[in-house]
Amino acid sequence: MTNKPQVLSDLEIAQSSTMLPIQDIAQRAGIPEDALELYGKYKAKIDTTKLAHKKAQAKVVLVTAINPTPAGEGKSTVTVGLADALRQLEQSVIVALREPSLGPVMGIKGGATGGGYAQVLPMEDINLHFTGDLHAITSANNALAAFIDNHIHRGNELNIDPRRILWKRVLDMNDRSLRHVIIGLGGPAQGVPREDGFDITVASEIMAIFCLASDYVDLKKRLSKIVIGYTYDRQPVTVKDLAVEGALTLLLKDAFKPNLVQTIEGTPAIIHGGPFANIAHGCNSIQATNTARKLADIVVTEAGFGADLGAEKFMDIKAVQGGFEPSAVVIVATARALKMHGGVDKKELKASNPQAIAAGIDNLQKHVETIRQFGVEPVIALNRFITDTQDELDVIVGWCEDNGVKMALTNVWEQGGKGGIELAKNVLEVLHTAQNFTPLYQMNDTIENKVTTIVQKVYGGKDVVFTDVAKKQLVEIKKNGWDKLAICMAKTQYSLTDQPTLLGRPENFTITIREVIPKLGAHFLVCLTGDVMTMPGLPKEPAALRMDIDEHGNAVGLF
Amino acid sequence: MTNKPQVLSDLEIAQSSTMLPIQDIAQRAGIPEDALELYGKYKAKIDTTKLAHKKAQAKVVLVTAINPTPAGEGKSTVTVGLADALRQLEQSVIVALREPSLGPVMGIKGGATGGGYAQVLPMEDINLHFTGDLHAITSANNALAAFIDNHIHRGNELNIDPRRILWKRVLDMNDRSLRHVIIGLGGPAQGVPREDGFDITVASEIMAIFCLASDYVDLKKRLSKIVIGYTYDRQPVTVKDLAVEGALTLLLKDAFKPNLVQTIEGTPAIIHGGPFANIAHGCNSIQATNTARKLADIVVTEAGFGADLGAEKFMDIKAVQGGFEPSAVVIVATARALKMHGGVDKKELKASNPQAIAAGIDNLQKHVETIRQFGVEPVIALNRFITDTQDELDVIVGWCEDNGVKMALTNVWEQGGKGGIELAKNVLEVLHTAQNFTPLYQMNDTIENKVTTIVQKVYGGKDVVFTDVAKKQLVEIKKNGWDKLAICMAKTQYSLTDQPTLLGRPENFTITIREVIPKLGAHFLVCLTGDVMTMPGLPKEPAALRMDIDEHGNAVGLF
C-alpha cells in the first residue's frame, strides 16, 4: 500500500467494488450449479465429486518472490493482478490462493487477499472466518490432542510416554503465552501433568495433510499415519493406533471442499488451505489447484515466502504429490526490497540508490538460477512503487536484458489487471514454449543427499551439518523406514542462509539441521534450521485496536 | 433412543429424510429472500436488519423438564415434536433451539438436535461445525485472552495483576487436561508466566453476551463491559480499557445472525447460540427468539437442564432482557426418570415399579409449583418409552388429575408431530387463556435477597450461606455498583439442592454460595455452588471412535 499516498484503504476499495453473485462467477468458471454450495451471496464451496469426470489439464503459473524484506514485495497482489490481466487478454483463467490465518490479521496491518485494485472479494470475510476451514482444522487438531491426553488419563493402554508426545494443540491466534505451557495440573481428576505447547493452526500437520490430500479416502489415510509421539519403549504411536482417523476426517468433511470467490474484476478465485511455508509447504490445497485445472486453461497460484522456500516446496512437494507440472514461474521483486538486499536500512528506502540495487540484485539472480534448475523459465515481475526512480528501474531492466531474463513492470495495485498486461504477455510466451520441469531430488535418495541438494542448488550454500539431536533422529527415521519421504525445510524466509540477517546472496555457508521431524501424513520430513516460529506473537499495537463494526454489521478499519 | 429396539439410528433417520431447499422453508416462515444468506442448500443465516420493521409478537412456549437423570428425558425431542404437532394443527409456528457444542458430540453418544422422527436437519452439520458460530465465539474469546497477555508482556500500562485475571481461554472440546495450566513459560520472549485454565466455549461470557444482545450496538456495548480481571490495586479492568470491543464485535459479525434450518416435517427452526445452563443462562439467543416472534404466531423454545436452572433463568434473565413474556410452559418427564427420583438404580429401570414413581413424582410436583409461581400454567409432557408399563403411567396420570395439572402422553420420537398432537392441544388451551407472568425478583433488591428468593421459591430450600470468599466478593461487587444485576445460579442440574446425589424433592436444605463472579456484559452475577464443571472431559470410549466418513464425504456413525 505504500505506493499510494492519501488514497482509499484496501477495505474501502473492496467495499466500494460491486461483486457479482457467486452463481455468476461459478458459471464463468464452468462449475455446474449442482456442484455449488453457497455461503452467503458471494462465497461458495465446490463439491468436487461433481467434477470427478473432468480432466485436470490447465497449465499452472506459479508466482514466487525474492527473499522477503520489511519493504514488501506484493506477491499476492501481483498474483491476483496477473490473473485479471490474463482474463483481459481473453484467457480462460482461475487464480488459486491460500486462506489467510486469523492470528496475523489481528496482529499486523495487512491481509493476505491482495491489495488496491488487485484483491479477492469479499476481503473482510476471507480475512476473518471465511467459510470456517481453519476452524475445522483447529477442531480436528485439538480433538486429536484431547483424545491423546484422555487415552493417557484413562489407563494408557498404548503405553504412550507423556514426555515424548509430538502432537501440539493449536489456535488460529497470535498468542505467544501459549508457546510453552504445562497442562494437566489440578490433581488426579484433571489429567496427567506434562509439558505442552500451542502452535498457530496453519502450522498443524493436519493443515499440511488437508492441502496435499487428493480425496476423502486419501485424507483419511494420511490422517491415520500421523505420528503423535512415542511409547515408553520408543515405538511410534499413530492416529490409527488411537482409532480416531474417521472422526478427524468427519470434522474436515465440509472444510475439504474448495472455496470459490472472485477478484475485483470478476475473475474466478479458488481459495483453499494455507499451511505455513516454514514448518510446512506453504501452498494452497492440491484440491484447489487441481479443481481449477479442470475448469480453466491457466491457473495462476502462489507459494509462501521467497523462491528458496515456497517455490522449492511447490516444485518438490506439491507438484510431485499433486501430479502436475508448473509451466511458468513469476518472480516478484521490488526496487525497495532489492535496495535492502543491497544493504540499505529500512529508514533510508525513500532515497534513490541505484548502486544498492546493483548490489542487491544478486538475490534475484539466485532465484532466477534456481527456477531454471527446475527446468522452467522464469519471468520477473518488477512491482512498482511511486517512490521508485527511473535510475533504479534502469538498473534492474538492464540486468534482465544482459542476462536474457524476461521481465515486466507491474502496477496492479493501482490499475488492477491493466497494470499486469505486460507481465501476462510475457507469461503467455513462456506458456507457449515447452518447459522441462524436473524435481530437484528423487525420493529414494538418502535424507542427507536430499537436504544437501536443496542447500547447494537452491540456497547456494556449501554444505549441511546435522546436530547430534538430528543425527539421532535420522537413525530412528531410517530404522522406521521413513527416509524415502520428501524434505520440508524450515528455515528463515529472510535469507538464503539459516541466519535471518544475511541478505543478498551469501556464499560458502553451512546450513545446520537442528531437528528432523517426521510428518508421515504429509509425506515429508521437516528439517528444522535456526529458530522457527510456529506460534507468532502480537505487536505492541495490534491491528485489532483499529477494527470495528458499524450498526449494520459492516467491517470498519480492517486494513 | 432407548425406547426403540432394533431400529434406525438418529443419523440414519435424518439421512433418509428428504429436506426442502432452505429457500422454501424461508418462504414458509415469511422471511424475505433478501434477508437470507445461504450456507449450503439446507442452512441459511437471517439478516435481521431486513426484518427491523416487523413487530415481535408471537407467543412463546417454553419447554423445560424435571431434574435430569441418566435415564434421559428427551426435552429437545419433545420441543421439536411439539412444534411439528402445532404445525399439523395448522398453527403458524417456529421452533427456536440452542446450537450444539462440538465437545460433547465427540465425547458422548447423543446430539442436541432431537431424536428419531422429531429432529432438526441437517443433523450432522448442526452437530458438527454448523455455520461456525461457536468457532467465532472461540476466536473472539481467545483473541481477548491474547490481547490481555500481550498487554502485560509489552509493559502492562494498565497495571493488570496476572494473579487476578478472570478471563480464561476456551476451546469447543471436552479436554480435561486444559482445566488447570501454566502459560507463558520459556523465558522473557514467551510472555509472562501465570496460572490459567481453559473452559469449553459455551461457558464463555461472550456466549452469554451473544445470546442476550439485542443488536450490534448492544453487542459491542456489552462486550466492552466485560471485567477481565483486576489491577494490582484491585481496580476492575474491562475490555473497554483494552480498546478491543470493536475487534471482538467484528469477529462476531456473521455469527450474530440467527440460523434457519428445518425439522424432519419441514417446520422452520431457528438455531442460534448455546450458553451453558450452569455458568450461564442456558437458552438460545434473544435474536433467535425475537426473530421467530416476528415471523410466526407461536415460538416453541427450550432451556437447559431442569426447570430449577433453565426455566428460572429463562424467566428471570432471558425473558426480562429480551422483553417478552412466556405464555405457556411444558415440563417434560419420563416414567424412567421419575423412578430414579424415587430411588431406583439405573440398572433396575427396566422393571415396572409404580411405587418408585409415586415416590419420585414430588420432583415433578416441585417444578409444577415453581412454574405456577411465575404466573404461568404448566403442561406436563409425559414422554413415553416402550418399557413403560400401564401401571406406571397410571400413577402419573392419576397424580395429574388429582392435582389439576394438564398433561399429555407424547411419542414424538417414533411418530414425529403426530405423537405430540395431544400435547399441542393442551398447549393451545393454555395459550388461549390469559397468563400472568411475573419474574421472581426485582433487580433492585439486594443480592442476598435475590439469591434467597430463588433458593426458597425455586429449589424449595431453607436458606443460603455465603462462604468467606463469596462474602468478600459481595463487598467488592457492591462497592463497584454491580449489585443491581440479575442472578445466574451455577448449581448441579441433577438435584434441587447443591448436592448432585440428592434426587426427588429434598427439603430444609441450605445452599452454599462459594463464589460470586460478575459478568457485566451478560448483565448477571454468577453464583457458584458446589463443583461446577466448565470444561468437561471425554469418557473412556469417546463417541468419536465410532465416527467416520464415506468416500463421498457423508457422515457415518454420528449417533
Domains and CATH numbers, chain A: 10-130+255-431 (3.40.50.300), 134-251 (3.30.1510.10), 447-529 (3.10.410.10)
Q: Which residue ranges of A make up the annotated binding site for ATP?
A: 69-76
How confident is the model at residue A8, as a pLDDT? Answer: 86
How confident is the model at residue B431, as a pLDDT? Answer: 97
Q: Residue A327 — pLDDT band, cuts 50, 70, 90?
A: very high
Number of A–B residue contacts, CB under 8 Å: 246
Residue A395, all three cell numbers? 538498473
Distances (CA, A) of A351 to A5, A112, A356, B36, B38: 17, 28, 11, 53, 52
Spell out which residues of chain A touch residue B38, defining contact as CB-CB under 8 Å. 38-41
pLDDT at A4 over 70: no
Sign of CA dihedral A543, A546, A549, A554: negative
Query: Would the CB atoms of A179 and B172 count as touching at under 8 Å?
Result: no
CB-nearest partner of A176 from B179, B190, B549: B190
How does the average pLDDT of chain B come out, rounded? 95
Query: Would the CB atoms of B185 and A182 count as touching at under 8 Å?
Result: yes
Query: Would the CB atoms of A40 and B39 count as touching at under 8 Å?
Result: yes
A109 noted as active-site residue? yes
Lowest mean pLDDT among A302-311, A549-558, B281-290, B422-431: A549-558
How confident is the model at residue B109, as a pLDDT? Answer: 66
Q: Mutate which of B105, B139, B142, B245 to disrupt the A interface (most A C-beta within 10 Å)?
A: B139
**B334/B384 Cα distance (integer angstroms):** 7
How confident is the model at residue B6, as a pLDDT? Answer: 57
- Catalytic, out of B305, B374, B399, B466: B305
Q: Is the pTM of this model over 0.80?
A: yes
**A86/A118 Cα distance (integer angstroms):** 13
CB B242 within 8 A of CB B158: yes
Residue B156, all three cell numbers? 502492562
CB-nearest partner of A181 from B38, B154, B181: B181
How confident is the model at residue A425, as a pLDDT? Answer: 98
Q: How far is A254 from chain B (nearest CA, A)?
A: 8
> Which regions in chain B score pLDDT beneath 70?
1-6, 109-111
Query: How many DSSP H helices and E strands does chain A contain?
Result: 20, 26
- Catalytic, out of A324, A385, A466, A482: A385
**A493/A301 Cα distance (integer angstroms):** 19
Query: Would the CB atoms of B250 and A547 count as touching at under 8 Å?
Result: yes
- Catalytic, out of A64, A77, A249, A267: A77
**A2/A70 Cα distance (integer angstroms):** 12
Spell out which residues of chain B touch residue A220, defining contact as CB-CB under 8 Å. 549
pLDDT tens for B73-87 read 899 999 999 999 999
**A401/A393 Cα distance (integer angstroms):** 12
pLDDT tens for A335-364 read 999 999 999 999 999 899 999 999 999 999
**A291/B532 Cα distance (integer angstroms):** 49
Spell out which residues of chain B touch residue A257, defining contact as CB-CB under 8 Å. 553
Q: How far is B450 from chain A (nearest CA, A)?
A: 33
Helix axes A205-212, A286-295, angle to 10 degrees: 20
Spell out which residues of chain B touch residue A537, defining contact as CB-CB under 8 Å. 150, 153, 191
Q: How far is B170 from chain A (nearest CA, A)?
A: 10
pLDDT tens for A210-257 read 999 999 999 999 999 999 999 999 999 999 999 999 999 999 999 999
Spell out which residues of chain A touch residue B244, defining contact as CB-CB under 8 Å. 542, 544-545
The angle formed by the CA atoms of residues A502, A506 and A507, to the nearest 5 degrees, is: 145
pLDDT at A462 over 90: yes
Burial class (CB in 10 A: 0-12, 13-18, 19+), B222: buried
Q: How far is B96 from chain A (nearest CA, A)?
A: 22
Q: Strand (E) positions, A92-209?
A: 93-97, 114-115, 118-121, 160-165, 169-171, 181-183, 194-196, 198-200
Q: Which ranges of B213-353 would DSSP assign to H, the alpha helix?
A: 216-225, 239-242, 245-251, 286-295, 312-313, 320-322, 335-341
Of A419, A491, A438, A517, residue with least CA distance to A84: A419
Distances (CA, A) of A531 to A70, A104, A465, B238, B281: 19, 19, 16, 36, 46
pLDDT at A2 over 50: no
Taking CA–CA distances from A186, the nearest residue in chain B reads B180
Query: Would the CB atoms of B37 and A37 count as touching at under 8 Å?
Result: no
Query: Would the CB atoms of A250 and B174 count as touching at under 8 Å?
Result: no
Contacts of B297 (CB under 8 A, 6+ apart): B58, B59, B91, B92, B93
Spell out which residues of chain A touch residue B132, defining contact as CB-CB under 8 Å. 129, 131-132, 135
CB-nearest partner of B555 from A180, A250, A542: A250
CB B306 within 8 A of CB B134: no
Average pLDDT over residues A131-138: 98
**B147/B142 Cα distance (integer angstroms):** 8
How confident is the model at residue A110, as a pLDDT? Answer: 65
Distances (CA, A) of A318 to A59, A76, A108, A206, A286: 15, 19, 28, 15, 7
